Amino acid sequence: MKAPLSWIKEYVSLPAELGVEEITDRLTALGLKLEAIETSGAGIEGPLVVGQVLTAEKEPQKNGKVINWCSVDVGDANGTGEPQGIVCGAHNFVPGDKVVVILPGGVLPGNFQISARKTYGHMSAGMICSARELGLGEEADGIIVLPADAPAPGTDAREVLGLGEEIIEFEINPDRAYALSMRGIARDAALGFDVPFRDPAQIDFPVADGSGYPVRLEDEACDYFVTRVITGFDPAAPTPEFIKKRLEATGVRSISLAVDVSNYVMMELGQPTHCYDRAKLSGDIVVRRASEGEKITTLDDVVRVLSPEDLLITDDSGPIGIAGVMGGASTEISETTTDIVVEAAHFDPTTVFRSQKRHKLGSEASKRFERGVDPLLPPAAAERVVELLVEHGGGQAVGVSEVGPTASPQTRAPLKTITIPVDLPARIIGLDIDEATVVKSLELIGAGVTVSGDSLTATVPTYRVDLTDPYDLVEEVARIVGYDQVPSVLPRRATGGGLTRAQQLRRRIGRALAGAGLVEVVDFPFVGEADFDRLGLPADDVLRHTVKLANPLSSEEPGYTTTLLPGLLKVAARNVSRGQDGVSLFETATVAFPVDQAAPIYGVDRRPTEEELEKLLAAIPRQPLHLGVVLAGERTRGGWWGAAETASWADAIDVVRRLGTELGVSVEVASASRAPWHPGRCAVVSVDGVEFGHAGELHPNVCKAFGLPARSAAVEIDLDFLISKVPATAAGPVFSTMPIAKEDVALTVSTDVTVAAVEAALREGAGELLETVRLFDVYEGDQVGEGKKSLAFALRFRAPDRTLKAEETAAARDAAVAKAAELTGAVQR
């Protein structure tokens, strides 16, 4: 919000000795954050004077351009008193017009040096200036033509143009809608310096008698609507310079008198208004919701398809405006308009906000309505618009209509009251604030305050629509007393139970993986169909069913991932491509599996019922925590001590086994076939018979698609499931002082029998004396026959209370072999 300092000072009696920095410092302390301080005409140096065009000869050029060779009277400003010869490319002036001239030696914004130079066959000594060249606006098609009563030629033009005006730009928080106007900023300035404030909205306006343009309200989103009628308006009447300058200073482009006055009052009071060409209206004005498929052409000449949620201003011809957002082109003020209908209304903020977002049509009006406008302002704003239009455009006001509660201002906008303990501000702010200070602070913002015992009741002024609860009042006291007065107090140490068990286990898992030589990475959780194609997933794979994002970062990755592998594989490939001989990466993150149920939309005016909450929760995608691991290239470095070892499927499976050991969970491993793993080198991992992930070597096509070394390995498991299986109390290791007994067995089994199955059978058969079993050799060849393999296991037995005898270990060994033969068909070699 840009605010000229001179405009603010019209409504507040600030001490003359106050500089703009002191004013902005105090306003920033009150919540109106300073964004910038600008000075109009900054960067202009040297002689900038009023000139009068004596002659203007049009001269066509070879390039098709037509220039004006002008003789301009600049008085004695050029030192000679003779007319100045200047070439000008604009055509919006005639001899006799007064213009703005910068003479040789001057400098325009952007350090543009002005000198006498030969151009288009003439020696041009100076420049006739446009608004853009002076940094006063965007208008560049024509030069500035001054009013006929402008000072004589040769007079310094700075004062004429209002240059040197200090303009303050504020960053206005959404809860301070009142500050989107000179009225609101001046009110805070008066509050900050404890000086008188003159409210520009305190003006007399006529009582509604129904003689204005007729209006009907058919939707509660508009609770108040005022119309005023002006007849005999002069459509050619120019906008006064003071209005133009002030609008330009606030960043609003001058268009026509009627539009400029409407914008001027909006900037002055904060209440948007709108002017209609009465001749283009047909029938009553009706405020209603749009019908399905209804259309409107707005003032920006765009045809918009309306939603039934849009609030419209209509007449018999259809929509003539989107309420609170933008008017329609069909009733726009034109150069032939002589009768005007002025609208000032109060609209529901939420309705306006949703409409402007739906149509991507943010405007100065919607910016104010969606934040909340003083509901008592419409009559005053309409009167102010009428006053300025009649004064500067002629005509007369002939009618006033008012729709909505009209018995009294209190009926139109019932005043809110908030009751708080008198000592609440002191307790919350941490300052010793007495009752008198609290009362005075609230009265300064315009609240009516009554004290009863230990309680205080404040009647909230209508312009402060943001004050709704006791702590809003505390904030008002704090900003008036001064945030800089609030002491710095170290926060007390928070009490709590520390990390949850799940958080502790997640950290334990991370430390275990880091200890195994893996590096943690964090990647974006987004995927597209191309990622699933590279993984080789079938078309009907459940992983392809993703939650689609409403506003994805990339159209190629529009879904929330169901697997961590695409991102991990890309990260691994990127590191390998940049010279890494091997990478070992892991990531823990959530994935999302959509549910086939749409989430219901409830209002925000109440808490959802338990049944409604159940429906909401049922529509939320399932989001388990997953662990992904990728091992590619060298697992151990090579050197003089030997060759490097590359990562393999066994390393991937070992990662899961290591986690199981760390967490005290018995992880079972079995062969499986699942994309994107190699069909013969993939393992499914499970606990208590429930599968929770896969590990193994990636399919060669997947390695090629992602640019990874051949035989790279990967793991993906459901970490939430694994954590849920961690015992509350882990069993400690059992130590024995008795010696260990060693037995080795070699078993021949079919090649389709897994090592895990044989090992499980040996454990079951050996009984409680078995301490460990370890595979130490695998052989396939002529000695065992085709379709067979030999597995050699080292069995270690120990008793906690005695030294085992040879007969006991032999019996346990034989029992283990017998069970393996029974369950897997193993034959001892």
How does strand 285-289 pair with strand 215-217? parallel
Contact present, 725 and 665 (Cβ < 8 Å): yes
**346 vs 173, 259, 822, CA distance in Å?**
21, 19, 87
Nearest one of 200, 177, 495, 483 to 353, comparing CA atoms: 177
Residue 408 scores a pLDDT above 60: no
The residue assigned the tokens 């208590």 is 688
Contact 463, 412 (CB under 8 A): no
Q: Could you tell me how far CA 275 lies from the centroid of its own chain?
A: 34
pLDDT at position 139: 66
Number of separate helices (H) and strands (E) present in the chain: 22, 42
Please return the burial class of 12, using the count of CB atoms within 10 Å of its CB with bins 0-12, 13-18 and 19+: buried
What is d(CA 794, CA 813) in angstroms, rounded to the nearest whole number? 10
List of residues 6+ apart from 490 with CB closer than 8 A: none
Instruction: Note the pLDDT of residue 393.
Output: 93
DSSP letters for 609-625: PHHHHHHHHHTSPB--E
- Name the phi and psi angles at 386, rounded to 5: -60, -45
What is residue 134's predicted lDDT score, i.e. its pLDDT? 85
| Cβ(170)–Cβ(25) below 8 Å | no
Q: What is the mean pLDDT of residues 501-511?
A: 93
- Mean per-residue pLDDT, 540-564: 93
Phi-psi region of 657 (alpha: psi -120 to 50; beta: other; left: phi over 0): alpha
pLDDT tens-place string over residues 722-747: 999 999 877 777 778 899 999 999 99
pLDDT of residue 717: 97
What would the mean pLDDT of 566-586 be, rounded to a whole number?
A: 95
If DSSP states are collapsed to H, E and C, what string results for 247-315? HHHCCCCCCCHHHHHHHHHHHHHCCCCEEEEHHHCCCCEEEEECCCCCEEEECCCCEEECCCCCEEEEE
Confidence of residue 409 (pLDDT cuts 50, 70, 90): low
390-407 pLDDT, tens digit each: 999 998 999 899 898 754
Whole-angstrom Cα distance, residue 309 to residue 288?
A: 10
Is the Cβ–Cβ distance between 720 and 625 less than 8 Å? yes
Contact at 8 Å (CB) between 104 and 116?
A: yes
Q: How many CA atoms lie within 13 A of 523 on its CB side?
A: 27
Task: Note the pLDDT of residue 249.
Answer: 87
Q: Is the pLDDT reported for residue 279 higher than 90?
A: yes
- Residue 779: how many other CB atoms lie within 10 Å: 14
pLDDT at position 103 over 50: yes
Task: Tell me if 644 sits within 8 A of 637, measured CB to CB.
Answer: yes
3-state SS, residue 426: helix
- C-beta atoms surrounding 730 within 10 Å: 11
Query: What is the model's pLDDT at position 544?
Result: 94
pLDDT tens per residue, range 314-341: 999 999 999 999 999 999 999 999 999 9
Q: What is the predicted pLDDT for the residue at 406? A: 55
pLDDT at 766 over 70: yes
- The string of pLDDT tens digits covering residues 169-187 is 999 988 889 999 999 999 9
Q: CA nearest 482: which of 413, 431, 549?
A: 431
Return the pLDDT at 644: 85
Q: Which of 579-588, 594-603, 670-679, 777-786 has the lowest mean pLDDT?
A: 594-603
pLDDT at 659 over 50: yes
The model's pLDDT over 449-488, given as tens digits with 9 standing for 90+, comes to: 999 999 999 999 999 999 999 999 999 999 999 888 888 8
Q: Give 84: exposed, middle or buried? Use CB within 10 Å, 0-12, 13-18, 19+.
A: buried
Residue 637 has pLDDT above 90, yes or no: no
φ, ψ of residue 617 in degrees (nearest 5): -65, -35
Residue 65: CB atoms within 10 Å: 10
Pairing of the two strands 116-119 and 547-548:
unpaired
Tokens of 622: 């399932």
- Distance (Å, whole) CA 656 – CA 672: 15
pLDDT at 677 (0 to 100): 96
Would you tell me the crossing angle of helices 20-29 and 182-193 to the nearest 10 degrees? 90
754 — pLDDT class (breaks 50, 70, 90): confident
Query: Residues 264, 253: contact at Cβ < 8 Å?
Result: no
Residue 414 pLDDT grade (very low, low, confident, very high; cuts 50, 70, 90): low
According to the model, what pLDDT value does residue 407 have? Answer: 43
Q: Report whether pLDDT(748) > 70.
A: yes
Q: Is the pLDDT of residue 141 over 80?
A: no
pLDDT range class, residue 283, cuts 50, 70, 90? very high
Mean residue pLDDT of the chain comes to 91
Predicted pLDDT at 829: 86
Instruction: Over range 821-826, report the average pLDDT.
Output: 93
